[in-house]
């Protein structure tokens, strides 16, 4: 009963899996040790290369880049979720006049690389004399690409709900928007949550592509800090610090999603409230 799609491994398979796990672990540890050794051999851990991070001005630069990254990611995430919800609803519509254009838009922006969207969003308006803020050029590119992916996630999550739920809702007289809002979305949200969070993590990391339009996000600021000759061009220490910041933020986002999913899983199923019976005698007296 513990296995449905495959047989449980026997003694030989367990022994083989254990050997592969040990070999893989040893290989990963050896690779990390080699990288650390190479960094140490090339002087990447020298005090000179890490000295500037103790200065308040450098810390403010990093915080400014982090704020720019979080601001762009937050704005793009909200707009991408709205974009995905609207176009997923249009793709689920019974009317072809809504479904066909929505399908075209979603498939178009899913197929275009994000870097090209950001590039076009900033440089093409400049060719016609229109000035657009670098932040909005980055946000629009992130919204179009990630919103299209989220639209497919929403559509797939809703379609994954058993069709009997929809038929039962129609049988009791619900309209399609009521079925979608009250029956399908609450059930689909739990299954969509991991994919939504994964895409938002991708969106956060994709803000680093703002370098092509010189948007001062965290990686762009890190590149400027790492290129300072008086400190021995500390590119590697700076990028290690920037990577640690990205990993921390993405880890916190994943931890929040895990907490939210567990909380939703513990929520009790609420039943419909029973309306109190009316006092027919009092009503009859009032009518008289």
DSSP 83-94: HHHHHHHHHT-S
Contact in structure between 210 and 220 (CB atoms under 8 Å): yes
144 CB-contact burial (10 Å; exposed 0-12 / middle 13-18 / buried 19+): buried
Q: In whole angstroms, what is the distance from residue 258 CA to residue 32 CA? A: 29
212 CB-contact burial (10 Å; exposed 0-12 / middle 13-18 / buried 19+): middle
pTM: 0.79
Of the candidates 69, 145, 161, the one whose C-alpha atom is nearest the C-alpha of residue 109 is: 145
In the numeric block, the tokens 């929809």 are attached to 166
Contact in structure between 212 and 121 (CB atoms under 8 Å): no
Mean pLDDT by 10 residues, the chain (288 residues): 63 89 95 92 88 90 94 95 92 87 93 91 86 91 94 88 78 79 78 87 92 90 88 88 92 85 65 42 43
What's the gap between Cα 155 and its chain centre?
Answer: 16
Contact in structure between 197 and 261 (CB atoms under 8 Å): no
Contact in structure between 55 and 119 (CB atoms under 8 Å): no
Instruction: Supply φ then ψ for residue 238, to 5 degrees.
Output: -65, -45
Within 13 Å of residue 182, how many CA atoms lie on the same side as its CB?
A: 13
**List of E strands, the chain:** none
Cβ atoms within 10 Å, residue 138: 29
Q: Quick one: pLDDT at residue 143? A: 95
Residue 74: CB partners within 8 Å, gap ≥ 6? none
What's the gap between Cα 180 and its chain centre?
Answer: 23
Domains parsed from the chain with CATH numbers: 48-265 (1.10.3720.10)
Structure tokens at 32: 């990390």
Contact in structure between 196 and 150 (CB atoms under 8 Å): yes
């Amino acid at each position: 009963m513990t296995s449905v799609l495959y047989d449980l491994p026997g003694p030989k398979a367990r022994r083989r899996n254990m050997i592969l796990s040990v070999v893989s672990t040893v290989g990963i540890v050896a690779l990390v040790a080699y990288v650390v050794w190479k960094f140490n051999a090339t002087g990447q851990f020298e005090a000179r290369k890490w000295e500037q991070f103790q200065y308040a001005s450098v810390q403010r630069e990093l915080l400014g880049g982090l704020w720019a990254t979080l601001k762009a990611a937050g704005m793009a995430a909200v707009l991408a979720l709205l974009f995905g919800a609207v176009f997923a609803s249009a793709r689920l519509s019974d009317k072809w006049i809504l479904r066909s254009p929505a399908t075209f838009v979603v498939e178009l922006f899913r197929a275009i690389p994000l870097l090209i969207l950001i590039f076009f969003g900033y440089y093409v308006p400049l060719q016609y004399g229109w000035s657009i803020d670098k932040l909005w050029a980055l946000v629009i590119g992130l919204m179009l690409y990630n919103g299209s992916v989220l639209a497919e996630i929403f559509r797939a999550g809703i379609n994954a709900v058993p069709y009997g739920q929809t038929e039962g809702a129609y049988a009791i007289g619900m309209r399609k928007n009521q079925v979608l809002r009250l029956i399908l979305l609450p059930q689909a949200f739990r299954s969509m949550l991991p994919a939504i969070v994964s895409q938002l993590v991708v969106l956060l990391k994709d803000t680093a592509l703002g370098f092509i339009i010189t948007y001062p996000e965290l990686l762009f600021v890190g590149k400027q800090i790492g290129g300072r000759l008086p400190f021995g061009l500390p590119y590697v220490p700076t990028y290690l610090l920037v990577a640690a910041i990205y990993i921390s933020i993405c880890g916190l986002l994943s931890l929040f999603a895990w907490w939210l999913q567990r909380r939703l899983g513990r929520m009790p199923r609420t039943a419909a409230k029973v309306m109190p019976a009316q006092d027919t005698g009092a009503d009859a007296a009032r009518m008289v």
